Amino acid sequence: MSKVCRLIFQNRVLPGKSIIIDKKLFLNAKPAIRIYRWSCPTVSIGCGQNLDDFRNFIKKGYKVVKRITGGGAVIHRDDICFSIVIPKSASFFGNIKDTIYKIQSGIRNVLNPYIKKIKINLKEPDRYTKFCFLTKSKYDLVSLRRKISGVAFYKSAKAIIYQGSIDIGKLNFSFNEFSNLLVNEWQKYFFKN
Amino acid sequence: MYPEKLKYLPSHLWVDIETKNIIKIGFTRYLAGQLGKIFLIETPKAGERVSKNKNLITVLTPKGKVDFPCFASGKVLEVNSSVLENPDILISECYSNWILKMKIQKLPRLLSSKKYKELIHV
């Protein structure tokens, strides 16, 4: 991928706005990494999921939004989320599995000193649930029985966007510190020519 | 892995040329491996006209969504209903299950098995 990549860090962003930003970045089809947190408790559901199945979250005060990527619903509270846009021109554009593995490797490298036995799950899941963090899919980042990070994607003819959520638990990272560490790791994979 | 009798598109579809402008298309082994599992596949209906670069096939997997643009304008002659009912057969038996039979105006530039393998670094 090009050495020029747009970086966006947003500590707190409104759910509706977040969805629009990702859609614009995806349609723009230029390299971008966006790291953000949600401004309020939010459930983001996959593009193939039905909003009606999550109405009970609205009653509980959550905002419910639909992502452009697939995958299961994610309950966002203090997690850190990211979006990575890769244009068609990147040599690894079509290699979805390998790219997800590299994204998760970067996160693992950042969290490795702080979370015990953190590793990339290489097994296919026994079952799929409607919630992302209840399904341990292949290439999810896990620690013991806990899921740390999951990634979903949407690929068109011009670009692919990966969206993910990282449950950092009670780790005492500042948002900017964590975002910079993450970008430093990812640049090994995505910023090179 | 990549039968020589078939031709290939860079979007990882195989093309079986029946006559000059009648073709069948399906997913390559490489693509099947990338998708892993398919929840849902959406295609135009038989008889529908399709335009180049417009969306032709959409696939929903557990982790994502993939749009396949149309590589040539034409008309869908037939849709393989068995892959719509059980899309996972596109993963397990990708070369024996075609998705669409189409009549196209002009064949796009197609890759040979050898060239396609070079593209995916096999």
Res B9: pLDDT: 96
Question: Between residues 49 and 88 of chain B, which touch chain A (CB distance below 8 Å)?
Answer: 53, 60-69
A35-53 tens-digit pLDDT: 999 999 999 999 999 999 9
The residues near B85 (Cβ < 8 Å, ≥ 6 apart) are none
What pLDDT is stored for residue A165 in this prediction?
A: 98
pLDDT at position A4, please? 81
Tens of pLDDT, residue by residue over A54-85, are: 999 999 999 999 999 999 999 999 899 999 99
Query: What's the structural domain count of chain A?
Result: 1
Phi first, then psi: what are they for A110, rounded to 5°?
-70, -40
The pLDDT of residue A173: 86
Q: Does domain B7-72+80-105 have CATH number 2.40.50.100?
A: yes
The 10s digit of each residue's pLDDT in A115-146 is: 999 999 999 888 889 999 999 999 999 999 89
Reported confidence tier of residue B121, pLDDT bands at 50, 70, 90: confident
A80 occurs within a structural domain: yes
> Would you say residue A128 lies in a domain?
yes
Say if pTM beats, i.e. exceeds, 0.90: yes
A60 in any annotated domain:
yes
What SS3 state is found at B6?
coil
Please report whether residue A192 resides in a domain: no
Give the nearest partner residue to B63 out of A68, A152, A157, using CB atoms.
A152
Confidence band of B20 (pLDDT split at 50, 70, 90): confident
**What integer best gives the mean pLDDT of chain A?**
93
Are residues A46 and A67 in contact, defined by beta-carbon separation less than 8 angstroms? yes
Q: Work out the mean pLDDT of chain B and round it to a whole number.
A: 95
Nearest Cα residue to B76 out of B113, B32, B42, B27: B42
Tell me the average pLDDT across B79-105: 96
Q: Is the pLDDT of residue B18 over 80?
A: yes
Residue contact B39–A100, C-beta within 8 A:
no
Contact assignment for B36 to A153 by CB distance below 8 Å: no
- Quick one: pLDDT band at residue A2, thresholds 50, 70, 90? low
Query: Quick one: tokens of B56?
Result: 């032709």
Q: Residue A192's pLDDT band (boundaries 50, 70, 90)?
A: low
Asked, for residue A51, whether it belongs to a domain, the answer is: yes
Task: For residue B60, give the nearest of A70, A137, A157 by CB distance.
Answer: A70
Contact B11 A124 (CB under 8 A): no
Residue A99 lies in a domain: yes
Q: How far is it, in rounded angstroms, from Cα A66 to Cα A86?
A: 21
CATH of the domain at A136: 3.30.930.10
pLDDT category at A87 given cuts 50, 70, 90 is very high
**pLDDT tier, B30 (very low <50, low <70, confident <90, very high otherwise):** very high
Q: What was the pLDDT predicted at A3?
A: 65
- Higher-confidence residue of B121 and B49: namely B49
How crowded is residue A167: how many other Cβ atoms within 10 Å of its Cβ? 21
Mean pLDDT of B68-73: 96
**Residue numbers of the domain that contains A75:** 6-186
Provide the edge-to-edge strand list for the sheet that holds A74-76: A63-66, A42-45, A74-76
Q: Enter the ipTM.
A: 0.87
Residue A164: closest CA among chain B residues belongs to which residue? B63
Q: For the residues B52-81, what does the mean pLDDT come to?
A: 96
- Please check whether residue B64 is in contact with residue A153, taking contact to mean a CB–CB distance below 8 angstroms: yes
Is A131 inside any structural domain?
Answer: yes
